[in-house]
Structures are given as structure tokens and as C-alpha cells.
Structure 1
């Protein structure tokens, strides 16, 4: 059956995966398959004052809400359109002040419930045929988190919303958990959370043939390789940098399934991703496993501490090659810490070590690679290395024209940046 309202795309039963989408005509790399508006969405609190709450346009001179003075809009039209959702929070923010602190998940679920009530629909209709996690599969930590979300809903929104029963809320939270999207900008910084029911129909593959990007509150699906008629459309739910074992573990933990794509079956990139040093004494498998455990723990424990990152890199360097993904991850974190500390020379040093392996380990049209070229280009420009900076920005542009489309605001603004406008 043709996917409702989307020409050239049809919904079908994907073997072993449930529902899925496939194309009924050919698409070339860079071509837009379809776009869809968010059903419901929230702007991250950290982005308030920089981005319009209604349309997610980033601009200067936004007008603030006259009541709470915490929500910002392009103009009166955007404010009026957003009021049915903003009113859930406006009064509460005034009352609670600094104590107003619902999680982003709670804020999104509240808006979903409000919209369904407004249009007199039962919440389950939003996720028809979409997957949710099995409640029995959740560990205690996830159960406790869901209970905390429900408590947050009642605490911050009970004056404005009538909630379904407890089990229905648990089901809705699990569906949002599995089908929610983090809306990101061109540098992959999080802007907020959203629900896109049509995008949620896409199945996962570690060899994706499409990529999802954002234009305001619309999600766009573009081909990153040639897709023939009848082929299923696959996106990736997770970061593809990591080796098969890590990817499968993450998919099981978040989405409760394993991937059987070509890359997960052949593990063709694992050796490249898990490079070890060539030493006179061969490194044993036990040493590699021990170092993997160390690297995983280090990534969690020392993510924001530059000194610990550097110590971890030194330690891992005794076994791992510089292009090993655990070394790359730690250097990427170190780069971020340097940026936060305004140590731009240090950020460039780590970024240059990360950049080349990224272009080997990620697919050619990767948002991660484009983001790194953007960061590096802007760093070079800030350090008066103009020609090197423009070269990096042009490489980012070449990828962004495919994954975002040549008419996207991000692409237009980057072209102006390159021209020095």
C-alpha cells in the first residue's frame, strides 16, 4: 500500500522487521524521498533565547513571551501558533520559577497528550503499527526512570492535563523512547525532541541508504546512495563509528532488537575500527578485551575531564593504534573539552587526529564527517588559517548539499560563510 500522502513511497511488511517503507521508483544520492512535520516537539531549555519555540528558526532579536519571559518567538504569528502547547508550561514556569525542571521526555509526552486530547484522539492511534519496547525487557533502572517521568508529569502538568491510567502512561513513554527523535543542527548539537510518525516507520540498518536531517520542525529523508524500485528504505538509529559488538549492544539496550545487516553479519570494518599497535610481542586477545573494557569505562567516567582524557589516551596508546575507535572517541571528547576551555590550538590538534580516520570509518555522506569539517573549518578561521579553514568548510558543504539538500538554510548560510559575507 502506498504510504499516505507520500508519492513514490509505500508501506509494506518487512520480513523479520514488521512494518517498513520501500520505494516504488528509483532515487539517486542526494535526492529527497519525503519530508514530514513533527507531530509534537519541544525545544531544549538550553536553546531558549536563540531559537524560535514554534518554528525552530535560529535568529537574533527574538521576542519573548510577555508572561513567563522564558519562551522566544520570531513574531506574533509564531507565538499564537505555539500557544496551545506553550500554555502547558507558561503558568507553571511562573509559579515554580527555578524549581520548574521537568525532563525533556516529560515535556514531550505532556504535549503529545495535550494534542491528542485537543483533537479527541486516543493516544494509541499516534503509534499505530510502530514498535514499543516489551515492558518485561526493561531493567530496574529504566523502570525507575519511567516512574520518575510519570511523577514529573503529575507534578508539573496535572493542573492542565487529564492523564490516562498508569499502564497507558508507561506504554506511551516506551513508545516515545523507541520512536522519539533528537532534532539536531548542522554541527549535530541537540536542539530538542520530536515525534515524526512517518519517519518512525523506517527500519534500522548499519548500512543505511537514507539519512534523516532537519529543516526547522520538519524532518527530511534523503538518499545517500542509489536506491532501486522495490528496495526497502533504511536509516541508522545509532552512531555507526563503533564495532559490531558495541552497535548490537546499544541497539538491544535502547531498541530491544539486534541488527542482521551486511555489516553486522560480515563485520568487515571491525578490524579497521579496532586497530592495535604492531609490537615485537604479539598482543593477546585477553589484553585487547581488557583494554576494550578499560576504554568503555573511561569513556563514561572521564568524558568531561581533559586531564583524564589525556591519561586515558596515553594508556590506550600502548595497545591501540591512533585510528582505533576508542582512541578516536577519547580524542573527540578531549577536543570538546578544549573548545569549552577556549583552548583552540588544543582543539585543532585533537581534531586533526580524528578527522582522517573518520573519513575512512564513516559512510561517505555522514553527518558526523560534515560536522567535524564544520568544526575544524571554523576553528582554522578563528586561528587565522583562512585557506585551510575554507578548504574544510568546502568539504563540509559537499556533504551537506547531499544530506540536507542544496536549498537548505544550513547550506545557504555555509556558502555565505565561505564567501565571507
Structure 2
């Protein structure tokens, strides 16, 4: 039950002008690192790239599988398969084969004995787990890695001088957890260096998701972090196991800067920039943010005999933002039926002012759909999905992973409910987007085509 699209390449670096890519080996062909006016360092195309073309790929410098996916995915390569072998000692890490297990041991050993000692009380956050792996990697690989051809981990921006007291307190909590859970195999730098590293991870970490945008884990992809943000991105980042792949979703000409999106693009300009300022400490100046041309549709008001006043609309937007935040917190402690009630009550209240295509309505419908999927109420999930898909296709850019994943969910729901025609049509729409975003040979694309053939 994640919020829509919170995790593709949702993080990247806002960089200072220092440092070059010396010692990084051959750079990706047709690309160069450069000083982007007003943005610090960035990535620029030296040749034309067609829609769907792979610009470059980047193996994870460090990655960690989320605890909830243990047993479903290999801890080392993130492959999804049946019959994984488990670690004989902790019994909590699973692998494709002996090779994956051996390759992962330098990282898994950081956790293996601690998991045995702490048992159920072993619960460091994913950020803490990822940071522990970065520290271990820096110790064993002090030289530049394959993931750092354009940008090294050491050169990540930390924005330390812009962190408020709350963010600094969270970092100190993470440092305490690192010391608490990782002692046997770790040598710690001093506290000041750990503060910088956690700040860098918070600003430059990526969330890896599967084809339905379910959370698989977290990773550091230094070269991918070089790209600056735009709300009209010309590339998209997808994942093949623990390798990030960057593909063009618009025609890119020689001299064009390569832009990705750090955030979910569903929301109106003000909300997007609030998120960018809070997480990445800048305001976007892209065409979409200057013209705000999609905002009117995204904030569509119901057609009523008496149009609501500006004040009523403003109050309802404030309510919508609050209920989104309330739901985010409630997911940690409320039952599915209580969560569904929050969704239904908020949709009812917002629906007195907002049209169904309004993004705040769509957000709560998406959450309601997630609850229905979790409780296996397939008809309920389908009803919400059917309302979401058309406005999603309008509000999101072409070749959006959010739209692809919604078509995919709908297709699987239709087929599960034995509506073969609608299921086939929806899966084909998902494939059309994913062939551009993921590439035609991606395991997810091949898997969905097999699903189609089976029906």
C-alpha cells in the first residue's frame, strides 16, 4: 500500500561544482558531465538518443533488500523466484544459489550474527542497513567502482547546512541505531563523518520497485544521482535486479541536458515544489513549474450549479493535504478496515467540491485500492482502479511507470475475475509503456507477455 510512484529514481544529488570524474574508467558513450547553469553539475547528451533508447546503466554501489520481501527475492541480485535457499545461520536471508550467497557474504555478515543475537528485536531501518553497507564497501573498495564513472559517493552533496533540528535529530537516531545493531564487523568513523554520510544517503538514495511499484529495497547509484530534476523529464530510471537503467522517454538532441524526476509527478506545482524543497532543498524552474499548465486539470472542481468560492476550494485543498498525511501515519498502526474508512470518508467529503479526476481524490482512491488488494477484495480494487486509470493517463507524462503499473494491476484483476477481453487490453497497454521504460528484453516485460499467452 505505497503511495503512487514514490519510488522510482526518487532521489538524486543537488551538487556543488567541485570534483571531476578522474579515475572512473571509460564514461558512458555519448554523455558528459558538465556544469549546468544554476543547477551545479549535471549530465549532458553528446549525441541524439531516440525514445526508448538506453543511455547508460549503473550497478548498485550498495543495496539492501527490504525485510518484507525476504524469501520472495534473492538478497544479492533481487531476482524473484520460487525455492530460494536460505542462510543456514540466521535463516532470514535467501539466495538463488551458492554463488549469490558467497558474493553477498561481505555484506550479509554485517547482519547475520546480529540477527541471531537480537532475534525479533533486530529492526534497524532500511536507511541504517544501507549506510552500514556503504561503510563496509568504502573499507573494502577504497578505489573508484564501476558505479562511479561520472560521480563518486564521496562527492555526493549532503545539504548539511540546510538541515533543520528535526532532520538532524533523525540522523542522530539513525547513528545510534547503527552503533546498536552493527558492532562486530564494523569500524565507525567519528560522529561528524557519520552525520555527513547519513545526510548524503537521505539525499541520494534510490528506492527500487517492481513492475507494480511495490517496494523491493534501497540502493545507491552514484552515476544516476548526477542527473538533475525536471517535472518534464526526458529520461526514466528503471531497475533490472540491482542495476539501474536510464532510458529516453523524449527525443534527446546533442547538447540537451538529461533530466530525470526525483518525485511523483501526479501533484500540482505547489505540492511538487514543497516536496522538492523539503527533501532536496531547491525549487524547480522547469517549463511545467513556470507555466503550471496542468494545475487546473489536476485540481478540477465538480461542476455545480453554484461554483464553490475560492475560500472553500482553498480549505478543501488544506483538508486533502492533511488527510493524506494522516493516512500515511495511520498505515503504521490502523487495521485495513479502519484505513478503508479513512479513504471513504475523505473521498465523500472531498467529492462535495472536487471532481473525481482531482489528484487529491485520485490519491485517496489509490490508497483505497491498495487496501482492497491487501485484503483480497478484488472487485473493490477493480472499481477504484477503473476510476483512476483515465485521469492518471492525462495527468502523468507519456511513458509513466505509474500509468503502466495501474494498467498492469487492472489487467491482472480483470483476468483474475475472468474478464479476458478487458484483461488482455489492459496488459497490452502496460506492455506498450514498459517496452519504452524498461526495454523490450526486460524480465518484467517477458513475464507479462507470458501471462498474456497463458490466457
TM-score (normalised: structure 2): 0.90
Matched, 1:256 2:281: yes
Deviation at 1:128, TM superposition (A): 4.4
Q: Distance in 1 between matches of 2:199 and 2:153?
A: 11
Q: Distance in 2 between matches of 1:203 and 1:122?
A: 22
Deviation at 1:283, TM superposition (A): 1.6
Superposed, which structure 2 residues align to 1:136-215 within 5 Å? Answer: 136-215=161-240
Q: 2:434 aligns with which of 400, 407, 418?
A: 400
Matched, 1:376 2:410: yes
Q: 1:340 aligns with which of 369, 374, 378?
A: 374
1:70 corresponds in structure 2 to 92
1:57 corresponds in structure 2 to 79
Deviation at 1:300, TM superposition (A): 2.0
Deviation at 1:144, TM superposition (A): 1.6
Question: 1:377–1:391: 8 Å Cα contact kept in structure 2?
Answer: yes
Matched, 1:240 2:265: yes
The DSSP-based 3-state class of the residue aligned with 2:276 is helix
1:132 corresponds in structure 2 to 158
- Which deviates more from structure 2 when the two are superposed, residues 349-358 or residues 116-125? 116-125
2:335 corresponds in structure 1 to none
Matched, 1:231 2:256: yes
Q: Distance in 1 between matches of 2:103 and 2:325?
A: 41
Superposed, which structure 2 residues align to 1:292-307 within 5 Å? Answer: 292-302=317-327, 304=331, 305-307=339-341
Matched, 1:32 2:54: yes
1:84 corresponds in structure 2 to 106
Q: How many residues align?
A: 420
Q: Distance in 1 between matches of 2:97 and 2:257?
A: 41
Q: Distance in 1 between matches of 2:91 and 2:327?
A: 37
Q: Residue deviations 1:104-139, cap 9 Å, x none?
A: 000000000011111246999943443222x34223
Q: Distance in 1 between matches of 2:144 and 2:34?
A: 24
Q: Distance in 1 between matches of 2:230 and 2:142?
A: 36
Q: Distance in 2 between matches of 1:269 and 1:311?
A: 27
The DSSP-based 3-state class of the residue aligned with 1:302 is helix
The DSSP-based 3-state class of the residue aligned with 1:25 is coil
1:325 corresponds in structure 2 to 359
Q: Residue deviations 1:131-166, cap 9 Å, x none?
A: 222x34223321221111000110111221111111
Deviation at 1:412, TM superposition (A): 0.6
2:118 corresponds in structure 1 to 96
Q: Distance in 2 between matches of 1:34 and 1:202?
A: 12
Deviation at 1:407, TM superposition (A): 0.5
The DSSP-based 3-state class of the residue aligned with 1:258 is coil
The DSSP-based 3-state class of the residue aligned with 1:348 is helix
1:355 corresponds in structure 2 to 389
Question: 1:116–1:122: 8 Å Cα contact kept in structure 2?
Answer: no
2:345 corresponds in structure 1 to 311
Q: Distance in 1 between matches of 2:363 and 2:86?
A: 39
The DSSP-based 3-state class of the residue aligned with 2:58 is strand
* RMSD of aligned Cα (Å): 1.7
1:15 corresponds in structure 2 to 37
Q: Residue deviations 1:367-393, cap 9 Å, x none?
A: 000000010000111111111011100
Deviation at 1:171, TM superposition (A): 0.5
Structure number with higher relative contact order (C-alpha < 8 Å, ≥ 6 residues apart)? 2
1:47 corresponds in structure 2 to 69
TM-score (normalised: structure 1): 0.97
- Which deviates more from structure 2 when the two are superposed, residues 406-415 or residues 154-163? 154-163
1:284 corresponds in structure 2 to 309
The DSSP-based 3-state class of the residue aligned with 2:347 is helix
